[in-house]
Amino acid sequence: MNKQLLAYYGLKWNPFSPDIPVESLWRTPQMESFLFRLENMNGGFALITGEPGLGKSKMLQVIAHQFSRLDEVIVGVMERPQSSVSDFYREMGSLFGVNLSPANRYGGFKDLRERWNNHAKTTLFKPILLIDEAQEMLTDCLNELRLLSSTDFDSHNLLTTIICGDTRLPERFRARALISLGSRMQFRLHLESYTRNELLDYLTHTLSHAGAPQLMTQSLMSTIVDHCAGNQRVLNNMAAELLATGLKKELSQLDEKLFLEVFSRKPKS
Sort strands 150-151 and 160-165 into parallel, antiparallel or unpaired. Answer: unpaired
Share of the chain above pLDDT 70, in %: 97
Determine the Cα–Cα distance for residues 71 and 68; give it in Å rounded to an integer: 7
In sequence order, what are the residues at sequence separation of 6 or more whose Cβ sits closer than 8 angstroms to the Cβ of residue 245? Answer: 258, 261, 262
Instruction: Tell me the per-residue pLDDT of 115-158, one tens digit each, with 9 for 90 and over.
Output: 999 888 888 889 999 999 999 999 999 999 999 998 888 788 99
Region(s) of the chain under CATH 1.10.8: 2-19+194-263
Residue whose C-alpha is closest to residue 191's, from 177, 176, 202: 202
Going by pLDDT thresholds of 50, 70 and 90, the confidence category of residue 265 is low
The domain made up of 29-191 has a fold known as: Rossmann fold (3.40.50)
136 touches 148 (CB < 8 A): no
Sort strands 156-157 and 150-151 into parallel, antiparallel or unpaired. Answer: antiparallel
Q: What is the mean pLDDT of the chain?
A: 92
Residue whose C-alpha is closest to residue 62's, from 115, 130, 137: 130
Instruction: Tell me the per-residue pLDDT of 30-66, one tens digit each, with 9 for 90 and over.
Output: 999 999 999 888 899 999 999 999 999 999 999 999 9
CATH class of the domain defined by 2-19+194-263? mainly alpha
What is residue 269's predicted lDDT score, i.e. its pLDDT? Answer: 47
